Structure 1
């Protein structure tokens, strides 16, 4: 079964999150990468192929990684498991929004 991956532009991510309050933002990078920088309010759940996701089913989920490939794989699995999820095109590398957090 082929699954089309819904995408959100990194330039429009802040607007998207503001428009859909309660959306879950999931960073699928390693814990170390997350600690260096992440999008404010994101939860860090590192991606593992074949993972059974345990996420709130009633929430829309926005997923990002470093450049977009891993988040697309994670979203593909989430959709197959019945979640409403989309990937940030280009990942955190392309995100220049006001909610970017860097570690001290």
Structure 2
């Protein structure tokens, strides 16, 4: 009987544990940059993501990521705008840029969205 009670409590607790938000990015973690439109960003984005539309990335990146050796994670809706932004950043000398695809890809990879 004790075992059944423990299992029941465990089963009731698991959904609550799964809903806990992931911790905020640590300073040593890669900045995540959302390169979609402002409207898309407002509709939902990765928690703590910096919003820089892809067409503005070359002009605004140094304010957010001044060190060109920093790992940067990019995403958009499908990965296409992130690809354009990635190419622009590489032309500027950023060497550790990752296109993670779209917002849904980020969710599947475990990023928390808001």
State the structure with bigger RCO (CA 8 A, min sep 6), 1 or 2: 1
Q: Max radius of gyration: which structure?
A: 2
Q: TM-score range by the shorter chain?
A: 0.5 to 0.7
Match of 1:56 in 2: 66
- Normalised to the residue count of structure 2, the TM-score between the two structures is 0.62
Specify which of 79, 82, 88 is matched with residue 77 of structure 1. 88
Structure 2: stretches of 5+ with no match in the other structure: 1-21
Taking a change above 3 Å as real, the CA distance of residues 94 and 22 of structure 1, as seen in their structure-2 partners, is closer
Q: Which has the higher helix share?
A: 2
Taking a change above 3 Å as real, the CA distance of residues 36 and 63 of structure 1, as seen in their structure-2 partners, is same
C-alpha deviation, 1:82, in angstroms: 0.8
Match of 1:32 in 2: 39
Matched, 1:88 2:100: yes
C-alpha deviation, 1:49, in angstroms: 7.2
Structure 1: stretches of 5+ with no match in the other structure: 1-13
Matched, 1:41 2:48: yes
